[in-house]
């Protein structure tokens, strides 16, 4: 290769390397991005992002544990930025946790405000459409998703909690309508569909069925029963689509406390359909 051609090639490689480095100076497993209210991890798709998927870890977890997850990989493949915030409460009994609203359980930080800060920072720093963001979460993270959907419904475009809902005492009402896709295991004994008390009854997980009823009222759904009930192999679905605004989709699977293998692609299909409606 002639020297001048080699020099040009090296320059181009250096340019791409420099651009990539500038594009992500934080957010990997070892170096989370830091904002005033907390930290988060982030992965970027190869193409310009069409939105973001935020996934909240379960109780005791960390955001970095989600960077190799199925939903992270599929989000990138579909052109979404993947964001994994950290639930951080250093002075609490359980420091890697989320500030889920519950009786007899206080928190040192407002995680609804924190998640809004993360979304704003991602949108401003990485040129991601603020209105195209999905907030998903598992277990305790799923309960946090329910709280955000209820008390600040406009924070994200749509919500996808799994294996977690409100905690007692359930809210009397939610602020406004949302699009929400809830997933739960029929045999979940950690967070049962009916909830369960903990710490000798000092706190209690809420009832998923009652949580759905509260959300139906917020959405202005015209009937208690779903518009449609469908069955796909061992997945049972209920769809509330006749609401004044928003919609609710429920997927039940025969497993326990976990998300089934097809959870991520189904949720992303659902989210992309929501984006297509405007």
Mean pLDDT of 267-271: 99
Q: What is the mean pLDDT of residues 4-30?
A: 53
Greater confidence (123 vs 93) lies with 123
E-only strand ranges, 24-128: 33-35, 38-43, 52-56, 81-85
- Flag whether 28 is in a domain: no
State yes or no: pLDDT of 14 exceeds 50: no
Q: What is the pLDDT of residue 121?
A: 98
Q: Are 53 and 80 in contact (CB under 8 A)?
A: yes
CATH number at residue 59: 3.40.50.1820
Give the pLDDT of residue 4: 43
pLDDT value at 248 more than 80: yes
Q: Which of 207, 56, 59 is nearest to 137 (CA)?
A: 56
Determine the pLDDT at residue 194.
Answer: 98
Alpha helices by DSSP H, the chain: 3-23, 70-77, 111-126, 140-151, 208-219, 263-276
Task: Provide the pLDDT confidence category of residue 188 given band limits of 50, 70 and 90.
Answer: very high
Contacts of 230-234 spanning 24+ positions with Cβ under 8 A: none
Indicate the number of domains in the chain.
Answer: 1
Question: Residue 239: inside a domain, yes or no?
Answer: yes
Residue 6 banded pLDDT, cuts 50, 70, 90? very low
Query: 13 lies in a domain?
Result: no
Q: What is the spatial distance between Cα 182 and Cα 90, in angstroms, rounded to a whole number?
A: 29
Structure tokens at 8: 């040009």
Give the pLDDT of residue 187: 99
Q: How many residues does the chain have?
A: 278
Which pLDDT score, from 0 to 100, does residue 45 have? Answer: 98
Phi, psi of 138 (to 5 degrees): -115, 135
What per-residue confidence (pLDDT) applies to 23? 54
Q: Give residue 151's domain range.
A: 35-276
Q: What is the pTM assigned to this prediction?
A: 0.92
Query: What is the C-alpha to C-alpha distance for residues 98 and 142, in angstroms, rounded to an integer?
Result: 10
Residue 242 lies in a domain: yes
CA torsion through residues 109, 111, 115, 120, sign = negative
| pLDDT higher than threshold 70 for residue 37 | yes
Q: What percent of the chain has pLDDT over 70?
A: 92
Which whole number is the average pLDDT over 236-247?
Answer: 97
At 22 the three-state DSSP class reads helix
Of the candidates 83, 3, 86, 1, which has an alpha carbon nearest to the alpha carbon of residue 38?
A: 86
CB 228 within 8 A of CB 239: yes
Residue with the larger pLDDT of the pair 76 and 11: 76
Q: pLDDT tens, 197-220? A: 999 999 999 999 999 999 999 999
Q: Is residue 23 part of a domain?
A: no
- Measured CA distances, 49 to 35, 132, 165, 199, 256 (Å): 21, 10, 30, 44, 34
Separation between Cα atoms, residue 196 and residue 190, nearest integer Å: 8
Residue 3 inside a domain? The answer is no
Q: How far apart are CA 204 and CA 221, in angstroms?
A: 27
Q: For residue range 138-185, what is the model confidence (pLDDT) as tens digits?
A: 999 999 999 999 999 999 999 999 999 999 999 999 999 999 999 999
Name which residue leads in pLDDT, 16 or 132: 132
pLDDT of 22 reads 38
With a cut of 50, say whether residue 18 has pLDDT above it: no
Cβ–Cβ under 8 Å, residues 202 and 136? no
Using the CB atoms, write b or e for 231-249: b if 16+ within 10 Å. Answer: eeeebebbbbeebeebbbb
């Amino acid at each position: 290769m002639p020297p001048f051609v080699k020099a040009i090639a090296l320059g181009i490689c250096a340019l791409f390397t420099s651009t990539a480095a500038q594009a992500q100076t934080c957010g990997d497993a070892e170096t989370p991005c830091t904002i005033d209210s907390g930290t988060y991890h982030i992965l970027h798709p190869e193409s310009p992002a069409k939105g973001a998927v935020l996934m909240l870890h379960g109780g005791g977890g960390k955001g970095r544990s989600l960077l190799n997850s199925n939903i992270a990989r599929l989000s990138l493949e579909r052109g979404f930025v993947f964001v994994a915030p950290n639930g951080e409460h250093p002075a609490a009994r359980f420091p890697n946790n989320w500030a889920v609203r519950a009786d007899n359980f206080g928190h040192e930080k407002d995680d609804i405000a924190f998640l809004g800060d993360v979304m704003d920072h991602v949108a401003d720093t990485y040129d991601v459409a603020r209105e195209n963001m999905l907030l998903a979460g598992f277990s305790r993270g799923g309960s946090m998703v329910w709280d955000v959907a209820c008390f600040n419904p406009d924070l994200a475009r749509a919500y996808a909690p799994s294996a977690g809902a409100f905690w007692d005492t359930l809210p009397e009402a939610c602020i406004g309508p949302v699009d929400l896709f809830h997933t739960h295991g029929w045999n979940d004994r950690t967070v049962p569909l009916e909830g369960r008390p903990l710490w000798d009854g000092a706190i209690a997980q809420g009832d998923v069925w009652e949580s759905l009823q509260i959300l139906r009222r917020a959405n202005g759904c015209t009937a208690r029963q779903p518009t449609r009930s469908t069955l796909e192999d061992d997945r049972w679905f209920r769809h509330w689509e006749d609401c004044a605004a928003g919609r609710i989709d429920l997927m039940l699977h025969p497993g326990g406390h976990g998300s089934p293998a097809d959870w991520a692609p189904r949720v992303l299909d659902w989210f992309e359909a929501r984006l297509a409606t405007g």
